[in-house]
Amino acid sequence: MKNLYRKLTILFLANLTAFTSYAQYNNAYRIKIIGNSYSDETVIRLVNGATQGFDGMYDAWKLISPNPNVPSIFTQIIPGQILSINALPEFTEDKSVTLYTNIPVSGSYIIEIDEVYALSANYKVSFTDVSTNSHIRIMGDTSLIVNLSAQQNAATFTFNISSSLTTIVNHETCTAMNDGSLEITNTGNNNWEYEITDDNDSVIINNTSNSPINTINSLIPGNYKATVNSLGITDEVNFTINPALVLTANFNLDKDTVYLSEGGLVNTNNTSINAQTYTWDMGDGGIANTENTSYTYSSVGNYQIALTSSNANCTVQNSKPITVLLTPTVVTAINSNNKMEVKLANLGNGNYQLVTANNNIKNISVYDVKGSLIQQATFYENEYHLSLSTNSNGIYLLSVITEDGKIFQEKLVR
């Protein structure tokens, strides 16, 4: 009977040699079971052009020994269609192949896993004992001792083939948004663990997945490592979340006060960074969508010029005030070549402090942008507190005249 089994083994090896002549010389494993003074083996291969059904060019049916003392190991297409050589397509997703056994008596058996032809770099393989749900990574020729119960046609092991992970990194969209993300695709696998660690090896997230695709969101810019574990196989991917380009909205005006008598024209100089589109709101209803603009005002008033700068992901805004007056005489109604030294402090909320160098009589006047007198007073000390807290926000002209004709004037922004 042993001679018959040796003949079957020789036939099996001959089939392997014959079939490999039709295919590439890689991705082939021989799995052998030894015990009860006998042995048996089966082969799993990945072949370009093979299918998951029976392929006459690549596969071989299993011949079970008539000796009931011989253990058997094999794969099957469907129940009753068992294979000694199982050629499968070159998978682009994770795949587990079930190995069945016939065990004549309970006891310890040796499992030898031989790499007949080298595994391609895009694959990793492991071996699972179904009864204990234990996994071992196969890095080359491997020998295991397992305890098996007497059984027939039992699903005993799985040979696990892992294809390469696919990752997609999405960088931060806008500054300080911290919205980077990593998409991990583990096609064909619905039971895996993943862990994300940062540069300091601190765990950012640790989770299990029952989906072939998982997305990790809210990652701040930095360097990371993604570790994926499944059936004893570990994959590591280093990745970086880049910070968003700093987007700014900024500009300069060629003047902060324009006069209708001089045309009411203001010109902008756009100094925004990393922007692609622009919108100008001139404060009086005027809108422009150019990088820079020249704009003509038609009404007296205080306005805010707002610039909105945008790129593909983000939008920021900045604004600056501008005063539109009828004529320059509004703010130069009092004129003198004599200057007076006055220290002016803005105390906030429309309150100001004036400090002069002497105690001469001083007349103080405050005008609005239309030239209307809104406040007037006389003070004798070298210090005076001016309050515009009850007046509306805007621009005002402060004028201080001493009894000897010296003048101080300043624009106040309330």
Domain range list for the chain: 2-163, 166-241, 251-328, 336-413
Query: What is the rounded distance in angstroms from the CA atom of residue 248 to the CA atom of residue 227?
Result: 37
Which residues share a beta bridge with 306? 281, 319
Helical segments of 276-372, H only: none
Q: pTM for the whole thing?
A: 0.68
The better pLDDT of the pair 266, 351 is held by 266
The better pLDDT of the pair 83, 373 is held by 83
Q: How confident is the model at residue 340 (pLDDT cuts 50, 70, 90)?
A: low
CATH number of 336-413: 2.60.40.3080
Asked if 318 and 306 count as a contact pair (C-beta separation under 8 A), the reply is yes
Burial 232-270 (b: 16+ CB within 10 A, else e): bbebebebebebbbebebebeeeeebbbbeeebebebeb
Query: What is the rounded distance in angstroms from the CA atom of residue 31 to the CA atom of residue 73?
Result: 8
**Residue 66: both structure tokens together:** 């008539």
Average pLDDT, the chain: 89
Q: How confident is the model at residue 403 (pLDDT cuts 50, 70, 90)?
A: confident
> Residues 6 or more apart from 176 whose CB is under 8 A from it?
none
Q: Which CATH superfamily is domain 251-328 in?
A: Immunoglobulins (2.60.40.10)
Q: pLDDT tens-digit profile of 166-184?
A: 999 999 999 999 999 999 9
- Selected from 1.10.260.40, 3.90.79.10, 2.60.40.10, 2.40.40.20, the CATH number assigned to the domain covering 166-241 reads 2.60.40.10
